């Protein structure tokens, strides 16, 4: 189960508080490597404060979820930050996706030359008494047309730097080698692997 060294003492089970099954699947694909098994905790009325900081939004949501669930858990808050739109939709990505979607973003950027954008993830782990935020960022460009059918959200319009495929044209494994979520969750997995939380499955340092 643990492929990067360290002693295994069982499986580390954590809740991922999300209504998004795709996110769960990606996060599970990343954390498998670290001996972590995720369970979805789709808490009704997940708290989403308004803030310019993904870290702050994720931390509030995670603390609120912990108050209700009382089990070790993770909250992932992600967003797409477009340079020419001064970081929009950023922390408002969820609302923007539900309202104008990626089609609306392409329309907003119709005559925009600068296509640079970054996806960011803030993943908060609450494992009392520990609370820890892990961030990941992957930059690239917004396409002029949607491409691909895989993934979710804004995947059809984002090509990461150094690649020609959009996230939606990649397999889950390919996206999980380059994505913002991969960067945040692999740091989280590493933290667990080195035994900084006493989760079964983490190694004894
Ligand atoms: P939960 O809050 O229930 O976890 P969500 O889908 O609302 O699910 P976020 O607030 O983190 O998740 O995401 C904000 C928006 O950004 C949302 O519309 C997602 O579809 C989109 N998004 C997040 N991660 C993405 C990714 O890896 N690729 C494409 N779009 C993504």
**Cα(6) to centroid of ligand 1, in Å?**
33
Furthest C-alpha separation in the chain: 56
CA quadruple 200, 133, 41, 48: dihedral, nearest 10:
170
Q: Which two tokens stand for residue 53?
A: 């900081």
Active site residue 52: no
pLDDT digits (tens, 9 = 90+) for 62-104: 999 999 999 999 999 999 999 999 999 999 999 999 999 999 9
Set 64, 76, 77, 155: catalytic member:
77
Evaluate if residue 146 carries a pLDDT over 80.
yes
Q: Which two tokens stand for residue 190?
A: 């590493």
Closest C-alpha to ligand 1, atom 24: 78
Evaluate if residue 43 carries a pLDDT over 80.
no
**Cα(153) to centroid of ligand 1, in Å?**
6
What CATH number is given for 3-193 in this structure?
A: 3.90.950.10
Task: Check whether the bond before 160 is cis (ω within 30° of 0).
Answer: no
Among 48-62, 143-157, 184-198, name the most confident range.
143-157
**Cα(204) to centroid of ligand 1, in Å?**
34
CA–CA distance, 152 with 167 (Å, rounded to integer): 9
Q: How confident is the model at residue 199 (pLDDT cuts 50, 70, 90)?
A: confident
* Rounded percentage of the chain residues whose pLDDT exceeds 90: 83
Q: Which two tokens stand for residue 30?
A: 């990343």
Q: How confident is the model at residue 205 (pLDDT cuts 50, 70, 90)?
A: low
Closest C-alpha to ligand 1, atom 25: 153
| CB contact set of 28 (below 8 Å; sequence gap of 6+) | 37, 38
Mean pLDDT check: name the lowest of 30-34, 37-41, 44-48, 135-139: 44-48
Evaluate if residue 53 carries a pLDDT over 80.
yes
């Amino acid at each position: 189960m643990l492929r990067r060294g360290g002693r295994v003492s069982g499986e580390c089970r954590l809740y991922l508080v999300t209504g998004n099954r795709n996110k769960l699947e990606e996060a599970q694909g990343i954390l498998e490597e670290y001996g972590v098994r995720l369970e979805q905790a789709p808490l009704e009325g997940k708290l989403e404060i308004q803030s310019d900081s993904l870290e702050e939004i994720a931390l509030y949501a995670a603390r609120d979820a912990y108050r209700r669930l009382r089990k070790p858990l993770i909250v992932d808050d992600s967003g797409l930050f477009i340079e020419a739109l001064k970081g929009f939709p950023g922390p408002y990505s969820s609302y923007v996706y539900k309202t104008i979607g990626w089609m609306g973003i392409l329309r907003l950027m119709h005559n925009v030359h600068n296509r640079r954008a970054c996806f960011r993830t803030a993943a908060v782990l609450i494992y009392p008494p520990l609370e820890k935020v892990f961030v990941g960022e992957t930059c690239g460009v917004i396409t002029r047309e949607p491409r691909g059918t895989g993934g979710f959200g804004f995947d059809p319009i984002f090509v990461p730097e150094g690649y020609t495929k959009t996230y939606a044209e990649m397999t889950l494994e390919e996206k999980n080698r380059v994505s913002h979520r991969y960067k945040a969750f692999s740091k989280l997995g590493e933290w667990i692997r080195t035994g900084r939380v006493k989760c079964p499955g983490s190694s004894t340092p």
